[in-house]
Amino acid sequence: QVTLVESGGGSVQAGGSLRLSCEASGLTYRTYCMGWFRQVPGKEREGVAAIFTEGGPVHYGDSFKDRFTISQDNAKSTVYLQMNSLEPEDTAMYYCAADLYGRRPCRPAENVFSHWGQGTQVTVSS
């Protein structure tokens, strides 16, 4: 059974930084596409970034590349999201996701991913 556990969320003032972590367990293959998404209540989920767990090219959603960085540690089965220069508009629930089937390119799009974590809340105050 695959589980994804996010951590690192919290409250921060505008201009601050946070690093989110997503630890995966139950993965059986060498590499998986994993991604970060965020969602504000009442709005659609946004794709932030995606990366293979063994590394390689990363892909960012529109408007995320400048301040957000996705990275991975395959030995720890963990994917990170470094968020800098946070703005109140970044307040959202952040979700980690994994693609167990590899049927689509590794991109931060919802239809790529088959498994989701419970999310970690990020709140940015002005």
pLDDT of 114 higher than 90: yes
Find, among 118, 64, 60, the residue nearest to 93 by Cα. 118
Dihedral (C-alpha) 72, 70, 119, 5: value to the nearest 10 degrees? 10
The answer to whether the beta carbons of residues 97 and 5 sit under 8 Å apart is no
Torsion of CA 82, 86, 91, 92, to 10 degrees: -20
Share of the chain above pLDDT 90, in %: 79
Q: What is the mean pLDDT of the segment spanning 2-19?
A: 97
Encode pLDDT of 16-49 as tens digits: 999 999 999 988 767 889 999 999 999 999 999 9
**What are the tens digits of pLDDT across the range 85-113?**
999 999 999 999 999 888 889 999 999 99
Q: Are 97 and 6 in contact (CB under 8 A)?
A: no
